[in-house]
Amino acid sequence: MTVALIWIIVGVALVLSELLLTSVIAVFLGIGAIVTGLLLHWGLIEQSATQFAVFGVVSLALLILARGRFKRWFMGYTANEDESKPNFQRDIGARVKVIRDFNHGAGRVVLNGVQWDAFSEDDLKAGDTAWVIANEGIQLTVAQQRPQQ
């Protein structure tokens, strides 16, 4: 197997690995490796030092110049989230399902498929629906009535 073919295979593997990763970096390294392999195949470069220099320069240039644009394409845009609020405040007003009875104000709820410890002044039972009125990091405060927004 020629060195040019190895560069191209590594490049294709890096580009394909981006399907599993979300960093949008491997694709630029892959393109750098493919460009290096093609230049080597066409006889435009020969020495190892030149190969690594071309790989580094092409990868770095693409990373600096195009990563932001590519990341927006890969990540997409979510129109239904209020980006002005921090993540913990977005949950306020969300509906939750009570999965463990509240005893002495403490119980357990499910929000977005994740179980949370929760507090409430209301007498809530498993199966009830409640509403998030506050989020203190890893604990929610919930109520029977939906909060006014």
- Tens digits of residue pLDDT in 29-60: 999 999 999 999 999 999 999 999 999 999 99
Q: Pick 80 or 20 by higher pLDDT.
A: 20
> Of 100, 85, 110, 95, nearest to 143 (Cα)?
95
- Domain boundaries in the chain? 3-75, 87-143
Q: Pick 122 or 75 by higher pLDDT.
A: 122
Give mean pLDDT, residues 12-30. 84
Per-residue pLDDT at 21: 73
Per-residue pLDDT at 114: 86
Per-residue pLDDT at 53: 96
Per-residue pLDDT at 127: 92
Alpha helices (H) in 18-140, listed in sequence order: 26-41, 48-75, 87-90
Per-residue pLDDT at 60: 94
Mean pLDDT score across all residues of the chain: 85
Dist CA 96 CA 143 (whole Å): 10
Give mean pLDDT, residues 110-127. 90
Per-residue pLDDT at 31: 93
Per-residue pLDDT at 7: 92
Query: What DSSP string runs through 89-118?
Result: HHTTT-EEEEEEEEETTEEEEEETTEEEEE
What is the token pair recorded at 44? Answer: 């435009």
Dist CA 37 CA 9 (whole Å): 9
CATH fold group of domain 87-143:
OB fold (Dihydrolipoamide Acetyltransferase, E2P) (2.40.50)
State the CB neighbour count (10 A cutoff) for residue 89: 12
> Of 147, 97, 96, 143, nearest to 123 (Cα)?
143
- Under the banding of pLDDT at 50, 70 and 90, the label for residue 72 is low
> Of 86, 80, 84, 138, nearest to 109 (Cα)?
138
Inform me whether the pLDDT recorded for 76 exceeds 70. no
